[in-house]
Structure 1
Amino acid sequence: MKALRNLSKLTVLIFVLTFTSCSEDDNGPADDMSPDPTPINIVETALATADLSSLVSALQKADESANNDLISALSGDGPFTVFAPTNAAFADLLAQLDGFDSLDDFNTEQLQDLLATILTYHVISGTAALSTDLSDGQSLTTLQGSALTVSTQGGVFFGDDTDTDAQVSLADVEASNGVVHVVNKVLLPQAVLDELADILLVSITDLALGNENLENLVAALTAANGDLPSVLQGDGPFTVLAPTDEAFETFLDGAALGDIPVEVLTNVLLNHVLTGELYSQDLIGLGSGYSNTLATGAGGENMSIFFDTSDGVTFNGISTVDTPDVKALNGVVHVVDAVIGLPNIVDHAVANPNLTSLVGALTDGGNTTFTDLLSDEEELFTVFAPVNSGFAAFTNPNGNDINAILSNHVVVGAAAFASGLSNSYVNTAATFDADEPLSLYINTDDGVSLNGMSNVAIADIVATNGVIHAVDMVIDLPTVVTFATADPNFSTLVTALTTLTPSTDFVAVLSAQEGNGSDPFTVFAPTNAAFDALPAIPAEADLIPILQHHVIAGANIRSGDLTPDGTTVTPATLEGDTFSITLPGTNGNIADVTDGAGNMGIGIDAVDVQAINGVIHVLDAVILPDTMN
C-alpha cells in the first residue's frame, strides 16, 4: 500500500509540475517578469525527465519492500548528490542479469532490498556537489556505505567495483534539495556483486528459504526427504509450483507434516516440480495441456499435471498461481494457493474441461460405479477417455447401454502406456452375457486407433492408479464385423464377405445383436495369409458356402467351452456341415482343426476375440465344407 501511496503522490507532483511550467493566461504566454516556478526536489526532477523513467520505476519497486522508503527520503531536505542512471543504463544492467527482463522481476522482498542497495550507492548525503566541486582521484562515500572514485580525464567518470566506469552525460541538474548528475551506467558496489552471485539468482531451494510465505514448503522439503533440497539446487532447469504457508495449512487440515508417510510427502512435493522452464506466458500461449512432474505415477512413469489458462493459471483444476515467474538461477517458481495432491484417474478426468461429457456420463443420475472403480488405488487401469466433441458426435446407433459403452473404454489390471502398445487385442471392463470380457483391438500402424473407429489424441496422462489416453470418438460396443473391419489381418476376409459375394449380405447377418438375428456367432476367421495360401479365391457361387462354413450361429463358443485334451465336434455351421477342434494343438497351434472336407493340420492361432454378438477365433488356413454331401 505504501508503494501505491507514493505512486499517487508522484502523479500529483507531475500534474503540479506540468501545470506550473505550462500555465498561460487568457492573453497569451506568461509575463517574462513573473516569478520562477517553485523549485522541485530530486524525485520530482527524475519524474520530469523522460530518460530517467527507469530510475523512477526502480525507486518504486524498491519501496515495495517494507524495509525501504527511498522516495520519501529523496524528497526530503537533503542536501543530496545523486548519480542518475539513464533508461539505457538500466536496460544494460538487466541484460547482464540472466533471466531478468524488467524491473518487475525484482518481485521478492529480498530482491527489492537488493535494488535499494544499488540505488543508495548512487546517493551522496549531506552535500550538493556540482561538477566544479569534483576533482580527479577524489573518493566519495555513498549513502550505501561504499565509495566511488572520481576521474576527470576526458570527461567526468565515477568508478564503482566493476571494470567499467560510469560517465556523466548531463551534469549539474539542480533541484531544491540537491543536484543530479545523469550517468550512462548503473553503479554496483562489491557488496551487490557478491549478492548477485549468492542472492539475486539463487537456486530454487535458496529462494524458498528466503521467502517468509514459503516456510511450510521448506519444512515439508526437509521433513519429506533430505535429498529434495539438493535436487532443487541442481542445474535444472525446473519449474516449481510453490504452495504458500496457508495452502499447506489447508492441505494438512490440522495434521502435522510428520503424520504423512515420508514416501507420500516426498511424492506430493515432487508433483510440484516440472522439468524445464515454463513461464506464465509460455503457459498462456499454449492455453491448456499436460506436462509431467518429477512425482512417480503408475508404472514408475512421471506423473502428469494439467494446466489451464482460461481463468488465471490453474493446475489440476485445484491450484491457482498467485505470483508467477519468480526467477531463479536454475528455473522459475510460481507461487500457488493450494497444495496439488497426487491425482488418480478420476481426479485427472474431473480436472480437464475437455472431459466434462465423460465425467457427466460416468456420474449421471448419481451413479458412483465408475468413480468408485477408477478411484481404487489397489488396481491399475488404462482408460481411453473420449473428449467432449467425441461424445457430441456419438449417436449410439445400436441403442447400447451407455454404462456398457463406458466400460468398454476401461482396461482393468494394467497401465498400458503408448510406448508399449502394439497391434493386439486387450480385454475391457465391458462384458458379453455378463461374464465374458469384450475385446478391444489396438492398431499402431498410424498413430493409435481403437476398433478402427477412435484415435488417441493425447497419450499417457499418468495418474497414481493408471493411465488415460484421450480419444477423439466414443468406442461403441463391437460386433464380430467391427473386429474383422478394424484388424488389417482380416482385410481379405472382409473383401470376400462384401465385394466378392454381393448376393449375400454377410455384414447385415453378422451385425445382428440382442437376439435380432441369428446371433450370437462363433466365427473362425482366416487371416490374409490363409487366403494367400489358396491357389485362387473361388468364384462367388463356391465362395459363399466356404465363408458360411466358418460361422456357427446361435452359440458363443469360447476356448474354455472346448473339450480339454480331446476333440470337440462343433454344431452345424451356416453352411450345414460340422468340423472338429482338437486340444492341444500341434506345431505351435493353440488347437488343430479338421474341416468338413476332412482337411487336417489347420491351426487356430488366437482365440476368444469377444464381441457383443459373438466371438472370433483366428485360423491360419481357410477351412472347406464337404462338397460331396
Structure 2
Amino acid sequence: MNKFRTISIVFSMLALIGFNSCDDDDVESPGAAIVGPGTVYTRITANGNLTSLEAALKIATGDLPNILEGTGPFTVFAPTDIAFNSFAESVGYITTDDITAGEALLADSNLDLDVLSQILTYHVVSGTMEASSFTDGTTLTTLSGDDLGVIVTADGDVQIQDATKVGQTNPVSTVTQANNYADNGIVHFIDKVLLPEAAIEALNFDTRPTLIEWAAGTEDLSLLASALDKAGLADAIAALDTARVLAPNNQAFEDLFDALGDDYSSLDDFDNEVEISLLGEILLYHVLPPANASIDLVVGPAVTLLEDNLVDVIADGTGFAFGDVTATTANTITAGIDAKNGVVDIIDKVLLPQSALDFIALLGSDDLATTVTSSPQLSILAEALTATDLADAFADITNVQDTTATNFSYHMPATVFAPTDAAFTDLFTALGPDYTSIASFDTDEEKELLSEILLYHVVAGKIASADLEAGMVTTVSENDIEIISVLGTDNFVIGDATNDVNANITTPDVMARNGVAHIIDKVLLPKSAIDFINDME
C-alpha cells in the first residue's frame, strides 16, 4: 500500500476518534490515548480558553509552572479567560479595543506577583478529585494553605466558594467543564477567580454584595428579585451608583397579591404590558436616591426614583417606618444592610403609589358590557348585544388578550355611545311594521347589519366628556361618526350617516373598568343601515 495512503488512513481514523470523543468531558482526548494526557499544566496551556491563567502562572512568583509539572497529584480549579476578565474589571481594569481587562491586569508593571501567586495556589488542591467525588459542605485545603468550600446543588452542579463568601449573595464559582484528566491530576474549568482572605485584604477588594445581589441572594427577598427581573429593572438597579432600597419581603408580596384579588396569586399573573409597567412603577417607588450626597434617612417626605412620588419616612421609636398613599405603613424588619452601592432596608409591606391604588380600583369596577347591560334604560341595547354575540366583545372590545392568560390588558379601553330603549324604539318605527323588537332581526343579513350598527357606537380609547373634541372619529366598525360642538355651549352632539338628526348625550361619563359609556337618545346609523332602509322602500 502506498505510504501516503497509509498515513492518510491513520489520520482519518484519528480524526474520527477525536470527533466521537469531544462530546464527553470524562473521556480522554485522542492524543492522550496515544501519547498520554500530559500534566495539569499541559492541559492548561493546551486550552484556548485558559490563556490568562497560563500567562498568570508564568509571571507569578514561586515557579508555578514547574510545580504543576511535578509529581502531584493535583486538582486544579482553572478560571477561564472570561472569569479573569470579570475579576480584572472588578479591581479597576477596563477592556479596550486593543486589550482585555485580564490582559491589562497581567501587563501592569505594578502588579504584586506575590499576591498573584497566593491567588493562583488557592486554585490548587492536593489529590485527584473527580467531579462526582465532591460532597456538599466539604472543605478543601489548597496549596496556599487556605480553605475552599464545596457546594453541590440539587441539579448536581459543583460550586466552589472562596473567602469572598457572604451568606446573602453566595458568590460561588461553578465548575463549567469537569474532569480534564492529566498524568499528575485533574483540571476543572470554573467561571470565577477564587480569592483567599490575604488577597482580598491586599487588593482592598470590596466583598460587599450590590443592591441587586442582596435581593437575589436573600431567601426572604426572592419575590422581590423575581419582580425586578420581570419588570426589566434588575440591570437598572445594579447600575445605580448609590441608593437606598426599601425591600419588601416575600410575605409583603403575598399580601399584595391578596389585595389585588383572586386573579393575582403570583408574579406570573402580571402577564401583559400594563400590569408589568405597573409592577415597575411599584418597584421604583421603593428606591430612594441620594439626597445631598447622603443616603441617610431623614424623617419626612422622601422623593423616590418614580418621579413626582413621595414616601413618608416616619420615626417609630426604634427606627423608621415608611408611609405610602394607603393608611397602612411599612415596618422595618432589618435596617441599614450595607451594600456595595447603597443600603437595603427589609420591610414588611409593598409600598403603593397612587397608580397602584387606581389599578386596584379599576379591577373592582365593572367592564363596559356589565355597565351597559345593568342600566334599566339600556335593556334593548343589552338584548341586541346578546343577539349578535357581542356581549363578550363589548367587555373588552378594543383590548388585546394574551391567549395564555385570563386577564385583559385594559391597555386600549373603549368609549361606547349607548342608545336608550327609546332610541331603539324610534329605530324600529323608522324600519317599519316588520321590526318591533331585536327579535325581528332574525336573518343572517339582518343580524350582520345589527352587529355593524352596534359597533358603529364604539370608539377606541377612553374619552370622557371633558375630553371630547369636535371632528370626525373612526369607530370600531371602521366608519366615521362626527363629534359636533353645540354652538354657545360646552356640550356636544353626535352625527351619523343620516346627516340630519344628531344624537344628544343625555348621561355622560358612565365609567367602566375598560372605558366609559355616554348614554345617547338616538341609534347612530352607518351608511350600510341607510342603504338597507332605502332598499326596503
- Does TM, normalized by the shorter one, top 0.5? no
TM norm structure 2 = 0.34
TM norm structure 1 = 0.29
